[in-house]
Amino acid sequence: MNIMVTGSEGQLGSEFRAMACAYPQWNFFFFSHNDLDISEEVRVDEAIQKCRCDVVVNCAAFTSVDGAEADPAKSFRVNRDGAGALARCAKERGVFLVHFSTYNVFDGLSPMPYRETDKASSHGLNAQAKLAGEDLIRTIAPSFLIIRAGWLYSPFGENFVKTMLRLGRERDSLDVVSDRIGSPAYAADMVDAVLTILAKADPGKTYAATYHYANEGVCSWYDFAIAIMKLANLPCHILPIESSSFTVKGPRAFYSVLNNNSIKRDWGLDIPYWHDSLSKAVERILMLS
Amino acid sequence: MNIMITGSEGQLGSEFRAMACAYPQWNFFFYSHQALDISEELKVDKAMRQCRCDVVLNCAAFTSVDKAESSPDLSFRVNRDGAGVLAQSARKNGALLIQFSTFGVFDGMAPRPYREDDDAEPKGFYGKAKLAGENLIRTIAPSYLIIRIGWLFSPFGENFVKKILSLGQERTSLGVVSDRVGSPVYAADLVSAVMSILVMVDLQRTYSATYHYANEGVCSWYDFAIAIMKLAKLPCRILPIESNAFPVFGPRPWYSVLNNNAIKRDWGITIPYWQDSLALAVIRMQALSL
């Protein structure tokens, strides 16, 4: 099986690169955003043909919620048009497309974990671009999985865990928002789940499914920060603050917990508890630094 | 200062009894529910006069959400009528009334922490009775504090922490609801906050405030159970389940996180993180069960 991974320098792409060696039976082709802009359809098609690709895993995305408010065109080009280009190429070449999306497609006003069938209605531009990308894939791609992730972190790129570890070394105390909750998603767990799915997927079948993936359990950003400091043995004191005292440009959801039962049930997956995965990630991040 | 405490055998009452010795300057008068039924006006009035009460702390409550559905009368008698009786006696005797209420007065459909001024729209009889009690106090009592609390636990009475500790000793795995979130409240922290408030309170003044109290942080019941097992070093594996797989009689809210800023701001108190308090509670429970 030939697997093409776009956005290979991002958080998810880097985890795919780190885990590829565990699957020597498959050929992986990695394209960073410098190698391949997914919104350039001709070049995407050329790449898919060159690697005689069976599966495209799209890890390329514009992920900055604030950045999308400042420069919506850029977000739509990658998140909507890029997804559309991949979907059309996947259709042209009969390729299975695995695409990642976000909890942010929901408005975050639910009191209970979001299911895949809940209505997506985000206020932010980045999420609207992600949702438009999802819809293009649903309409065009012959066989696809869309996986919406919770609060993503990893040793790679920019994420909350890395920011907290850095600030925790620099400061004695730190204010962290306590009124917004969600489920962290460790990129390594998610990539492991996708590789397990690829091993189980039947190449003769077509798929058309949307899934939610997050580690088990919930926390607020405040709980998350406390857990990070404890695991890294940093003496930085975490203080709870309300999000209204912390101005950001893009909209932030109050409630971002995802119901992850469908992906577990359909593919027989076990998902680790967020705190257990965080403990592994922190150890790995501290080792890498 | 003379302090009368009703429901002294319950979770909160027991913590007040445990902490009273740290305040030797005050006289505490404890009444269990056998000693004093708070819905009996004459008896309440007599007790209040007898102890020349300056402050009444009402820890008496009918707290079973499920039983309130099967026998609403009992819940209304204690939670509404009892609160009303205390409010009237507090008025007659010029006492400050401190009442404990619950996150259950909200419908649990909010996506963000409940503030004191959010609309209370309880779904079940328990929440309705507690809210009716609150409203009687607001109307009748000359000076009161109403403190609504989150998921209460302590070494006393029946609560989630004690239940999970006992199941954790019996079983190798346990399914716990992962789709409902809230903020735990360690009774000892709450009682210590109330004592701090009583130290600062000016009895010449009148108070009419509603506060929310919960430990800092949030969790689902599933996260809560995992933390309990880890702290108690029990090998029981906790599995996440959806609440529709676990039918209960009374209504359960999805979201029960309380915004605790008002009480912190007005009285200058800091509230511990729920896991730190849980660690203290588990050690204490294990010591008590030896």
Domains and CATH numbers, chain B: 2-158+185-216+256-272 (3.40.50.720)
CB contact A122 to B (< 8 Å): no
Are the Cβ atoms of A219 and B253 closer than 8 angstroms? no
Are the Cβ atoms of B223 and A113 closer than 8 angstroms? no
Q: Provide the residue-wise pLDDT of chain A in tens; the chain has 289 residues.
A: 999 999 999 999 999 999 999 999 999 999 999 999 999 999 999 999 999 999 999 999 999 999 999 999 999 999 999 999 999 999 999 999 999 999 999 999 999 999 999 999 888 999 999 999 999 999 999 999 999 999 999 999 999 999 999 999 999 999 999 999 999 999 999 999 999 999 999 989 999 999 999 999 999 999 999 999 999 999 999 999 999 887 777 778 999 999 999 999 999 999 999 999 999 999 999 998 7
Nearest CA in chain B to A221: B217
Q: Chain A, 141-180: which have a CB under 8 Å from a chain B CB?
A: 178-180
CB contact A64 to B (< 8 Å): no
CB contact A219 to B (< 8 Å): yes
Chain B residues touching residue A252 (CB < 8 angstroms): none
CB contact A244 to B (< 8 Å): no
In angstroms, rounded to a whole number, what is the distance separating the alpha carbons of residues B67 and A196? 46
- Name the one residue in this structure whose structure tokens are 């997927």: A201
Query: The tokens of A116 are what?
Result: 């895949």
Residue A230 phi/psi, 5° resolution? Answer: -65, -45
Residue B55 phi/psi, 5° resolution? Answer: -135, 135
- Please, what is the angle between helix A274-288 and helix A187-200, to 10°? 110
pLDDT at B290: 55
Are the Cβ atoms of B218 and A259 closer than 8 angstroms? no
Q: In angstroms, what is the C-alpha Rg of chain B?
A: 19
Are the Cβ atoms of A218 and B181 closer than 8 angstroms? yes
Are the Cβ atoms of A222 and B216 closer than 8 angstroms? yes
In angstroms, rounded to a whole number, what is the distance separating the alpha carbons of residues B79 and B260? 23
pTM of the complete model beyond 0.80: yes
Query: The tokens of A266 are what?
Result: 């359909």
In chain A, pLDDT over 90 holds for what percent of residues?
94
Query: What are the b/e assignments for A66-103, b being 16+ CB within 10 Å?
Result: ebbbeebeebbbbbbbbbbbbbbbbeeeebbbbbbbbb
Closest Cβ–Cβ partner in A181, A259, A275 for B179:
A259
Q: Where are the domains of chain A?
A: 2-157+184-216+257-272
What is the biggest distance separating any 2 CA atoms in chain B, rounded to whole angstroms? 57
B126 is catalytic: yes
Are the Cβ atoms of B223 and A218 closer than 8 angstroms? yes
| Superfamily per CATH, domain A2-157+184-216+257-272 | NAD(P)-binding Rossmann-like Domain (3.40.50.720)
Closest Cβ–Cβ partner in B111, B217, B222 for A255:
B111
- Interacting residues of B150 by C-beta distance below 8 A, sequence separation 6+: B103, B182, B183, B184, B185, B213, B214, B215, B256, B257, B258
- Interacting residues of A52 by C-beta distance below 8 A, sequence separation 6+: A2
In angstroms, rounded to a whole number, what is the distance separating the alpha carbons of residues A87 and A92? 9
pLDDT at B248: 79
Contact by Cβ (8 Å): A189, A258: no
In angstroms, rounded to a whole number, what is the distance separating the alpha carbons of residues B197 and B23? 13
pLDDT at B245: 83
Nearest CA in chain B to A227: B275
Contact by Cβ (8 Å): A68, A62: yes
Q: Residue ranges of chain B with pLDDT lower than 50? A: none
In angstroms, rounded to a whole number, what is the distance separating the alpha carbons of residues B148 and B253? 15
Query: Per-residue DSSP letters for A40-70?
Result: -HHHHHHHHHHTT-SEEEE------HHHHHH
Chain B residues touching residue A245 (CB < 8 angstroms): none
Bridge partners of residue A29, in order along the sequence = A4
pLDDT at A252: 83
Query: Of the residues B31, B126, B222, B255, which is catalytic?
Result: B126
- Interacting residues of B146 by C-beta distance below 8 A, sequence separation 6+: B99, B100, B101, B134, B137, B138, B209, B210, B211
